[in-house]
Structure 1
Amino acid sequence: MFHLLEKERTIAGPGFNRWLVPPAALAIHLCIGMAYGFSVFWLPLSKALGVSKGLTEAIKCAPNAGFITQLFTRSCDWEISTLGWMYILFFVFLGGAAAMWGGWLERAGPRKAGAVSAICWCGGMLFSALGIHLHQFWMMILGAGVIGGIGLGLGYISPVSTLIKWFPDRRGMATGMAIMGFGGGAMIGSPLAANLMKYFATPTSVGVAQTFVVMALGYFVYMMAGAFGYRIPASDWIPPGWTPPVAQTNNAMITKRSVNVKKVWGIPQFWLVWMVLCMNVSAGIGLIGMASPMLQEVFAGSLIGVQKTFTELDKAQLTAIAGVAAGFTALLSLFNIGGRFFWASLSDVLGRKLTYALLFVLGGLMYCSVPSSAQSGSLALFVGAFCIILSIYGGGFATVPAYLADLFGSQMVGAIHGRLLTAWATAGILGPVVVNYMRDYQLSIGLPRAQVYNQTMYILTGMLLVGLICNLMIRPVADQWFMTDAELAEEKRLAHEKVLDSVIKESGSHEHTSIATIILAWMAVGIPLAWGAYKTFQSALQLFV
């Protein structure tokens, strides 16, 4: 079976339809995107040991029991703050794995990378399920957090280079479709996990371990199908009827040459794009973390028709507004997903630099509008601003691979994108730290809860301003950084491109892709995505009822 994973086996013959590749990418991204939805497990896991002993509440650890103690304890339940380390490790190892093994991916091919991603992500979940059964948190950290995080990194970047080569005429749209799947993974996985935990729950089990096993096995089948669905074009392939730009002067921001991934750390444009992504993600991820509590604390009782501040609400009323806030969060996830496809596709028309400028300017206006809409009590303007902001957050993720291909060429764009994802890991720490610190500081000086977020919004606007300046500073990459013809030929040799061309020429095979095959492939990813959108829309309706 292993020889089927070799890059030589993934070359597409004449007649292969490129529209079969995006569903393969979506199949992998929809599975690994569940990383965003792992918080659905925290509450059940925080009382798993107590329930296993027939209790209705968690068995609390000793007050002096720290993180290290909770890694190995079998006598008390884990705290939610401790469980949150799995979420942090997801994105730390995603960025690290993508940066470390991006070059290997370019040479090994997307199919092998996708298969390794499936083994790591699903194997990590199975190992974590065993950790839940044995009540050993270190096993969950190693399984889902570390091994699973490596699978996240490889799976996330596996389709980037391939899609850009299949869609040189629509780079933004192609990568937007795939990365949209990462945003949609939690939209499908969270309600699925909730239903499975409800099904497996018993008086002595919260059902999380069983849910992990079922989801891991299902994800493995889906991801392997996606990996085997990857095909790469011959090196001289171009879309029928498309004419490449005749000269670089036609659009100076889109190069026809390529940069070696080993050189990108020293290129100014790489660090400018790094800052563009880091600032956009820092602002967005910081806002995501405070969206739900901010809605509850700002609008408080008015969300349920009661004229009370947040501190005046009783327990039943707090539960009611929490339900409304859950609908708000669901609505934001829809705009996060939709923005990934919309803004990335728009960048094919406007160009990447102009699109990011528009994202930062529009985003800054929305951030600045939030304090005034909150003060005026306008729920519609408040929610509208957040929806646009989340679409910008998702759009920034989806547009950046095409930006990299424009600047650095398509030969090693997957590896370069992997190194750029260290900006995501940085932003995952920077954004929440700034937001949480400012909130605590504002509360400490006595500001009402409804006003503690105002200064934070202006700080996040400042981050977008930094990103805008960095984006405006980006210029075409200097000639000295591009590979010479000899270096490019050597890189293609290492990537087996000449071998791939000879394989397809010697076989003389012709692949005819039927319309039915394309429809079935898209249904395989479209139906779960539609189901997730439906469940999310149902939850979002609570905001307006």
Structure 2
Amino acid sequence: MLSALDRSRSVAPPGFSRWLIPPAALSVHLCIGQVYATSVYKNSFIAHFDSSATAVGIIFSIAIVMLGLSAAVGGTWVERNGPRKAMFVSACFWAAGFLVGALGIATEQLWLVYLGYGVIGGIGLGIGYISPVSTLIKWFPDRPGLATGLAIMGFGGGALIASPLSRQLLSAYDPGYDPDVATSTANGGALVALFLTLGLGYFVVMMFGVVTMRVPADGWRPEGFDPATVTAKPLVTTASVSAANAIKTRTFWLLWIVLFCNVTAGIGILEQASPMIQDFFRGGDGRSEVAVATAAGFVGVLSLFNMAGRFLWSTTSDLIGRKRIYLVYLGVGMILYALLASIGDSVVAVFVLLAGVILSFYGGGFATIPAYLRDMFGTFQVGAIHGRLLTAWSAAGVAGPLIVNGFLDAQGKPGTLTASAYQPALYTMVGVLAVGFIANLLVQAVPERYHEPAPAPEKETVA
């Protein structure tokens, strides 16, 4: 059955519209983007397992670590077998992760949730995340930033769908759960039902992407596209670099640092978004001026920034170049973090605006990095190279929450914190972004000794 999903059987027929590819990729990324909605049931998990916030937060960190590791290890396999088989395998692992996680909830064994959602689901995350990237770049050689932005914005938007959906499902499965009350927690039966529903539902949606995805025929190019218009831009190569050679270059490791710093800074806010906005506007009486429902609404707005940034900034990078757009992400990001720490608690709108732009840079960094890799290393094994680079995401998935939660744990108990408790963490993120800014300045073209031998000219076919 899996042979029907091979790359050789996935070649698009003549006349196939390349604009069907982004929706196929989007269907996968919208599903796996649910990982950003884990905070919705975090308090319910703490109550159900009678555990600490740190122990439950590890579920998210394990998933992100496995995302990077599976993308790194499986990147070459994805390139060899094609996007359809990779997307199918991703759907199986992602759905299985929810099912095993549901078993862990039912038996009150937190380690099974670590294994299921964290490890198994994390493998599905990594394979699913990289599966369409190389294919998108090949379908859109004229606008790689736009193409990857269209798909990867789904990962940022996944939480926008999953957060309210999860709340409604929990309230349906547990009548005693009130999604508008901070202290309300869902019972174990509702959590089991939620995981079963999400696992099966996401599997069905991801199958749409599997059925729709196609790869371009050898030598295909868009009508009217002149490759010289792209390769004439600064820091855009016409050569090819293998994944094995890419990791030997200084350019790869500089980009690894750039992505690590950008993600570490953004994920700290993203993981704490809902309690953070309530803590920033907590009064002297210990009560927050922002209700739980209102905070959830603001988190939805921040998710919109995250999602929109993936498309807007990556598309902008097609015009101004990848290196310059990362200077914006990191340089302007430092200023915004400093402002968030100093005046973010003045007005709710100021907090949302500052945090929103920061998260748009965070999302934009993810969407732009595949095109940056294509510029530096060519299209030969860009998917595999992208997979290896995502180990930076794994490291950041641990570092970001640890930095923020470490500072917060030292400041007091959840529900009693104020804006000042976040200042040490936010100023630390300014320093993290400064390191990434310097690394990006040092990025240069890959030396010729790492290039693959030039292939024989192929016969071109025009769309």
2:326 matches 1:356:
yes
Q: Is the 8 A contact 1:91 1:149 kept in 2?
A: yes
Instruction: Find the aligned partners of 1:243 and 1:99 in 2 and give their Cα distance.
Output: 32
Show the counterpart of 2:270. 288
Instruction: Find the aligned partners of 2:341 and 2:374 in 1 and give their Cα distance.
Output: 38
Which of these residues, 298, 301, 306, is aligned with residue 331 of structure 1?
301
- 5 Å-filtered alignment, 1:366-445, equals 366-374=336-344, 377-439=346-408
Unaligned runs of 5+ in 1: 49-75, 302-308, 493-497, 512-545
Show the counterpart of 2:2. 2
1:216–1:371 CA distance, 2 compared to 1 (3 A): closer
**Aligned sequence identity (%):** 46
Unaligned runs of 5+ in 2: 177-186
143-152 vs 113-122, greater mean Cα deviation: 143-152
Show the counterpart of 2:108. 135
Q: CA RMSD in A?
A: 2.7
Which of these residues, 238, 242, 261, is aligned with residue 260 of structure 1?
242
Cα offsets for 1:29-73 (capped at 9, x unmatched): 11111111123233334445xxxxxxxxxxxxxxxxxxxxxxxxx
2:90 matches 1:121:
no
Show the counterpart of 1:514. none
- Other structure's SS at 1:453 match: helix
1:139–1:481 CA distance, 2 compared to 1 (3 A): same
Please report how far the alpha carbon of residue 471 of structure 1 lies from its aligned counterpart in structure 2 after TM superposition: 1.0
1:206–1:360 CA distance, 2 compared to 1 (3 A): same
Please report how far the alpha carbon of residue 200 of structure 1 lies from its aligned counterpart in structure 2 after TM superposition: 2.5
- Number of residue pairs matched by the alignment: 450
1:290–1:191 CA distance, 2 compared to 1 (3 A): closer
Cα offsets for 1:279-323 (capped at 9, x unmatched): 11111112334444443344323xxxxxxx2xx23xxx4485444
Q: Is the 8 A contact 1:44 1:206 kept in 2?
A: no
Please report how far the alpha carbon of residue 243 of structure 1 lies from its aligned counterpart in structure 2 after TM superposition: 0.8
1:109–1:287 CA distance, 2 compared to 1 (3 A): same
Q: Is the 8 A contact 2:142 2:230 kept in 1?
A: no
- 5 Å-filtered alignment, 1:10-49, equals 10-48=10-48
Instruction: Find the aligned partners of 1:326 and 1:300 in 2 and give their Cα distance.
Output: 16
Letter of the structure 1 residue corresponding to residue 245 of structure 2: K
Instruction: Find the aligned partners of 2:47 and 2:358 in 1 and give their Cα distance.
Output: 35
Q: Is the 8 A contact 1:300 1:321 kept in 2?
A: no
Instruction: Find the aligned partners of 2:406 and 2:100 in 1 and give their Cα distance.
Output: 35
Q: Is the 8 A contact 1:122 1:219 kept in 2?
A: yes
Q: Is the 8 A contact 2:302 2:359 kept in 1?
A: yes
Instruction: Find the aligned partners of 2:275 and 2:201 in 1 and give their Cα distance.
Output: 34
Letter of the structure 1 residue corresponding to residue 193 of structure 2: Q
1:94–1:465 CA distance, 2 compared to 1 (3 A): same
Show the counterpart of 2:169. 196
Q: Is the 8 A contact 1:252 1:476 kept in 2?
A: no
Which of these residues, 223, 246, 258, is aligned with residue 206 of structure 2?
223
Which of these residues, 148, 156, 160, is aligned with residue 175 of structure 1?
148
1:205–1:147 CA distance, 2 compared to 1 (3 A): closer
The structure having more radius of gyration, on CA atoms, is: 1
Show the counterpart of 1:214. 197
Cα offsets for 1:251-282 (capped at 9, x unmatched): 24111111110112210000111111111111
Letter of the structure 1 residue corresponding to residue 74 of structure 2: W
Please report how far the alpha carbon of residue 78 of structure 1 lies from its aligned counterpart in structure 2 after TM superposition: 4.7
Letter of the structure 1 residue corresponding to residue 339 of structure 2: S
- Normalised to the residue count of structure 1, the TM-score between the two structures is 0.77
Cα offsets for 1:345-385 (capped at 9, x unmatched): 1001111111111222221221222244247x244333321
Please report how far the alpha carbon of residue 428 of structure 1 lies from its aligned counterpart in structure 2 after TM superposition: 1.5
Instruction: Find the aligned partners of 1:142 and 1:474 in 2 and give their Cα distance.
Output: 38
Letter of the structure 2 residue corresponding to residue 33 of structure 1: G
Show the counterpart of 1:234. 217
Show the counterpart of 1:244. 227
Instruction: Find the aligned partners of 2:280 and 2:260 in 1 and give their Cα distance.
Output: 28
Show the counterpart of 2:314. 344
Letter of the structure 2 residue corresponding to residue 133 of structure 1: A
Instruction: Find the aligned partners of 1:36 and 1:247 in 2 and give their Cα distance.
Output: 35
Please report how far the alpha carbon of residue 92 of structure 1 lies from its aligned counterpart in structure 2 after TM superposition: 0.7
Which of these residues, 58, 62, 66, is aligned with residue 89 of structure 1?
62
Show the counterpart of 1:279. 261
Letter of the structure 1 residue corresponding to residue 299 of structure 2: T
Instruction: Find the aligned partners of 2:208 and 2:230 in 1 and give their Cα distance.
Output: 39
Cα offsets for 1:441-465 (capped at 9, x unmatched): 5679xxx944343343332222222
Instruction: Find the aligned partners of 1:125 and 1:406 in 2 and give their Cα distance.
Output: 37
Letter of the structure 1 residue corresponding to residue 295 of structure 2: A
Which of these residues, 282, 288, 292, is aligned with residue 300 of structure 1?
282
Cα offsets for 1:394-421 (capped at 9, x unmatched): 1111110100000000111110000000
423-432 vs 289-298, greater mean Cα deviation: 289-298
- Normalised to the residue count of structure 2, the TM-score between the two structures is 0.90
Please report how far the alpha carbon of residue 186 of structure 1 lies from its aligned counterpart in structure 2 after TM superposition: 1.6
Please report how far the alpha carbon of residue 80 of structure 1 lies from its aligned counterpart in structure 2 after TM superposition: 4.5
Letter of the structure 1 residue corresponding to residue 98 of structure 2: M
Letter of the structure 1 residue corresponding to residue 102 of structure 2: A
